[in-house]
């Protein structure tokens, strides 16, 4: 059972997620294009959606979001929810075209990351926190989305490896 | 989502609902989740240390690229500031000593009486929607949720979450942060002509310094008695000159004690209190719910802003917060909105001090 877990997608996702979280907390909190923190875990969740569909994107987003919440001050489950939404949106975009070229997968990743980041203030409002909806929010969403698009050539194959997606599965989603 | 089977759709819904459930549990306070978070962060410690070492060259290169001009300018500005502040520091130190002595004389508590814990900043939030830093001291060092955190420049924030060996500090710039603040000793220069006369106290105590000796010459003279005019003011025209009666006596020296009729104008010893709230990253904190009226004077840029304290406040009184950067006077009755430039540079904190202060309302409950 342990061997199956280690060989399974969840273990790979957790391992990569923990590594990315360490980089998020040390490197990406400092590299702030336009003053915005690039969300690498969200980018990977969206890439998982763009690579494997909405359900896999949701699963990856949930796991990575939980890691993010555990490693930060945000309420546990809040980022799991937003990153799962990001993965789902990227996966829905993916469903319009199976086996998209790398650049289209990048666009799907961007859309998913934008949706996930835009959902953060909504969730915060939902849990009773005050959030300002202004032009700065659009800057944040834009930068996070573009960064996810830039990272997608690396993250989409990485997500395929994490989720153990094989070539045949990319083309036709198994019902 | 037509291409997905019901099982996959159920998985998606289950994940979303689980997330909502976890949020609810965490917000209501759940010891299992807290323990899980604590354990996870301790497990992440060595990994983050390793990542920090690996990421340092990249981070330094990024800083070099993006902040070179800014740092060069700042360096120049700081050099001139240091020169200026050396002189200020000497006089400020004297004033602080005097202030502390006065507080001691009157048995009043001061900030110096509150024990502090120095902590190192070991991280900051990876989120774009929070203004939170992480420090390396926690429950093992008797840190509790709500304690105020300061740096050399002034108020930094408050403790929001405590683990055994670390804590989270919500910065004053966070939109969720609010604290009572005051603008002490507001005095207006231009308020005097349009306002009723400020309270005055006749200086009735004979002042030996003002005792003068007037030599009355033998001839008939007219002597105007000085001392009735405050320094710097034109003598009132209605004061008639005192005319000494004609005399033929030899010259004598008569000591005359002058009781000055001058009045001392005291500055209004008022303070204005309001609520200080963060506005998010890159935005100034704002002080609201103040009343600016003729009695308290008008707020000016550069006026100091300090914590108000009080029974319910988590922060003790008189912690410097910053200075007024801008006053926005609206047409409504809400009073002016004041942008405050923080004394502490919350973007670049390395060390902070946690004040082990408990408000009266909590201390009584112990």
Model confidence over B317-358: pLDDT tens digits? 888 888 888 887 765 666 778 889 888 888 888 889 999 887
What tokens does B213 get? 């000796």
**Region of residue B28 (left: phi > 0; alpha: psi -120 to 50; beta: else):** alpha
Residue B41's φ and ψ, nearest 5 degrees, are -70, -35
- Comparing A41 with B251, which gets the higher pLDDT? A41
Q: Does A55 touch chain B (CB under 8 A)?
A: yes
Chain B environment of A59 (Cβ under 8 Å): 11, 15
Beta carbons of A73 and B168 less than 8 Å apart: yes
State the smallest CA–CA distance between residue A88 and chain B in angstroms.
8
CB–CB contact B62 A88 (8 Å): no
Q: Quote the DSSP letter at residue A163.
A: T
Give pLDDT, residue B254: 45
B263 closest CA partner among B199, B210, B190: B199
CA-based nearest residue in chain B for residue A86: B16
Kindly state whether B25 is in contact with chain A, defined as any CB-CB distance less than 8 angstroms: yes
The answer to whether B40 faces chain A, any CB pair under 8 Å, is yes
- The C-alpha atoms of residue B136 and residue A146 are separated, in whole angstroms, by 34
> What's the CA gap between A41 and A28, in Å, rounded?
11
Chain A hits for B21, Cβ within 8 Å:
77
3-state secondary structure of B264: strand
* Per-residue pLDDT tens over the stretch B216-241: 444 443 434 444 444 444 344 444 44
Nearest-angstrom CA–CA distance, A81 and B351: 34
At A9, the pLDDT band (50, 70, 90 cuts) reads confident
pLDDT at B214: 39
| Mean of pLDDT over chain B | 72
Q: Which residues of B touch A62 (CB under 8 A)?
A: 15, 18-19
CB within 8 Å: B19 and A62: yes
Phi and psi torsions of B340, nearest 5°: -110, 130
Q: What is the pLDDT of residues A40-54, one digit of tens each?
A: 999 999 999 998 888
Q: Which residues of A touch B51 (CB under 8 A)?
A: 19, 22-23, 25-27
Rounded alpha-carbon distances, angstroms, from residue A161 to A112, B210, B230: 19, 94, 88
Under DSSP, the state recorded for B210 is: G
Angstroms from B165 CA to nearest CA on chain A? 15
Of B20, B36, B37, the CB nearest to A81: B20
Interface size between A and B, measured as CB pairs under 8 A: 162
Name the residue of chain B whose CA is nearest to A85's CA.
Answer: B16
Q: Does A153 touch chain B (CB under 8 A)?
A: no
The reply to whether residue B129 touches residue A59, judged by beta carbons under 8 angstroms, is no
Q: Which of B3, B19, B168 shows the shortest C-beta gap to A77? A: B19
What's the start-to-end Cα distance of chain A, in Å? 26
Residue of A nearest to B48 (CA): A22
Q: Any CB–CB contact under 8 A between B61 and chain A?
A: no
Distance between CA A32 and CA B173 in Å, rounded?
18
Pick the residue with more confidence: B312 or B46?
B46
Distance CA A150, CA A143 (A): 10
């Amino acid at each position: 059972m342990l061997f199956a877990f280690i060989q399974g997608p969840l273990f790979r996702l957790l391992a990569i997620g923990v590594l990315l979280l360490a980089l998020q907390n040390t490197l990406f909190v400092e590299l702030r294009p336009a003053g915005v923190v690039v969300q690498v875990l969200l980018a990977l969740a969206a890439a998982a959606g763009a690579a494997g569909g909405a359900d896999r994107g949701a699963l990856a987003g949930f796991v990575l979001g939980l890691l993010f919440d555990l490693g930060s001050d945000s309420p546990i489950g809040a980022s799991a929810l937003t990153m799962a939404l990001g993965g789902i949106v990227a996966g829905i975009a993916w469903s319009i075209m199976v086996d998209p070229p790398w650049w289209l997968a990048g666009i799907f990743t961007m859309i998913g990351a934008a949706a996930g980041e835009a959902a953060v203030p909504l969730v915060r409002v939902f849990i009773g926190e005050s959030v300002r909806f202004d032009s700065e929010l659009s800057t944040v969403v834009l930068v996070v989305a573009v960064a996810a698009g830039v990272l997608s050539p690396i993250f989409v194959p990485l997500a395929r490896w994490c989720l153990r997606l094989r070539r045949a599965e990319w083309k036709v989603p198994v019902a | 989502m037509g291409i997905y089977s019901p099982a996959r759709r159920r998985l998606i819904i289950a994940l979303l609902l689980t997330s909502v459930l976890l949020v609810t549990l965490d917000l209501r306070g759940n010891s299992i989740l807290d323990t899980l978070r604590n354990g996870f962060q301790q497990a992440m410690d060595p990994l983050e240390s390793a990542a920090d070492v690996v990421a340092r060259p990249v981070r330094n290169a990024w800083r070099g690229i993006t902040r070179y001009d800014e740092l060069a300018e700042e360096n120049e500005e700081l050099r001139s500031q240091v020169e200026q502040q050396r002189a200020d520091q000497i006089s400020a130190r004297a004033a602080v000593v005097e202030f502390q002595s006065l507080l001691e004389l009157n048995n009043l508590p001061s900030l110096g009486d509150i024990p502090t814990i120095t902590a190192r900043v070991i991280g900051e939030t990876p989120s774009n929607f929070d203004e939170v830093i992480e420090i390396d001291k926690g429950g093992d060092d008797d840190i509790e949720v709500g304690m105020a955190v300061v740096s050399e420049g002034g108020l930094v924030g408050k403790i929001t979450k405590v683990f055994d060996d670390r804590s989270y500090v919500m910065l004053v710039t966070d939109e969720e942060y609010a604290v009572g603040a005051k603008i002490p000793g507001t005095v207006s220069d231009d308020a005097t002509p349009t306002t009723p006369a400020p309270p005055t106290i006749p200086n009735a105590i004979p002042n030996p310094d003002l005792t003068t000796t007037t030599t009355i010459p033998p001839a008939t003279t007219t002597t105007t008695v000085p001392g009735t005019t405050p320094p710097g003011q034109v003598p009132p025209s209605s004061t008639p000159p005192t005319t000494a009666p004609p005399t033929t006596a030899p010259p004598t020296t008569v000591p005359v004690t002058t009781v000055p009729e001058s009045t001392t104008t005291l500055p209004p010893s008022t303070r204005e209190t309001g609520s200080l709230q963060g506005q998010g990253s890159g935005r100034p904190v704002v002080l609201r719910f103040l009343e600016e009226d003729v009695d308290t004077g008008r707020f000016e840029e550069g006026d100091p802003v300090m914590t108000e304290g009080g029974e319910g406040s988590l922060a003790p009184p008189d912690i410097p917060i910053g200075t007024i950067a801008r006053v926005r006077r609206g047409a409504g009755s809400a009073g002016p909105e004041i942008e405050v430039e923080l004394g502490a540079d919350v973007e670049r904190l390395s060390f902070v001090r946690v004040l082990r202060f408990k408000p009266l309302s909590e201390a009584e409950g112990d």
